[in-house]
């Protein structure tokens, strides 16, 4: 497994992965057919990334991109120490340690840029992700009630955070 920073040359791989995730899991934000990003949109998104503020990391197996994470650092001075992360891994590759590798790489990035807090949201019934985040030192900080509307039902999310240094 290779974890690498994604660049413009990875645009097609990332777009294809996101479209697959949209159809195979209900744990991601977008529903099938809802993603409007084109290859050009993805290329533009990956073109001018300021590594100190945001980025995309990808997990490649021997054949293709099978997982990703992205992170956004706060812009205002009062939240520059904090970054929000999102992660998705193809179901065929879950349980293989990819999430742990991706989080480790985010932590390396965070330390490089003096980010001391990582945060995320996760659906309360996504037990595998909650278990991973807990093992990686994230703690539940609260519940975002009726956060999402999926298949006619409201779904709560946990706010989770990890303090990297105090």
Q: How high is the pLDDT of residue 148? A: 94
Residue 28, pLDDT score: 77
Q: Could you report the average pLDDT of every consecutive run of 10 residues in the chain (166 residues)?
A: 92 92 81 77 82 89 92 92 95 93 95 94 95 97 96 96 88
- The CATH number of the domain holding residue 152 is 3.40.630.30
What pTM value is reported for the model? 0.89
The per-residue pLDDT for 155 is 96
**pLDDT score of 164:** 95
Q: Can you give the pLDDT at residue 166?
A: 61
82/69 Cα distance (integer angstroms): 16
Phi-psi region of 21 (alpha: psi -120 to 50; beta: other; left: phi over 0): alpha
**Token duo for residue 146:** 């009726």
Q: Which residue in 86, 89, 51, 88 sits closest to 71, CA to CA?
A: 86
- Confidence at residue 140, expressed as pLDDT on a 0 to 100 scale: 98
Whole-number pLDDT of residue 106 = 94
pLDDT at 63: 82
User: Which strand ranges, in their side-by-side order, compose the sheet holding 54-60?
Assistant: 2-5, 54-60, 65-73, 82-89, 117-123, 153-163, 139-150
Give the structural domain span for 111: 2-163
Structural domain total, the chain:
1
CA 107 distance to own-chain centroid: 13
């Amino acid at each position: 497994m290779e974890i690498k920073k994604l660049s413009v040359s990875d645009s097609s791989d990332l777009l294809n992965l996101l479209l697959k995730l949209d159809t195979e899991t209900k744990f991601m934000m977008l529903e099938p057919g809802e993603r409007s990003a084109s290859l050009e949109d993805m290329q533009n998104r990956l073109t001018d990334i300021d590594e100190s503020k945001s980025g995309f990391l990808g997990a490649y197996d021997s054949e293709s991109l099978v997982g990703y994470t992205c992170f956004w650092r706060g812009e205002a001075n009062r939240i520059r120490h904090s970054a929000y992360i999102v992660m998705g891994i193809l179901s065929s590759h879950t349980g293989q340690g990819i999430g742990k590798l991706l989080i480790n790489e985010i932590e390396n990035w965070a330390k490089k840029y003096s980010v001391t807090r990582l945060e995320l949201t996760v659906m309360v019934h996504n037990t595998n992700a909650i278990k991973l985040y807990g093992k990686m030192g994230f703690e539940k900080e609260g519940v975002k009630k009726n956060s999402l509307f999926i298949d006619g039902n409201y779904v709560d999310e946990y706010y989770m955070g990890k303090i990297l240094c105090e």
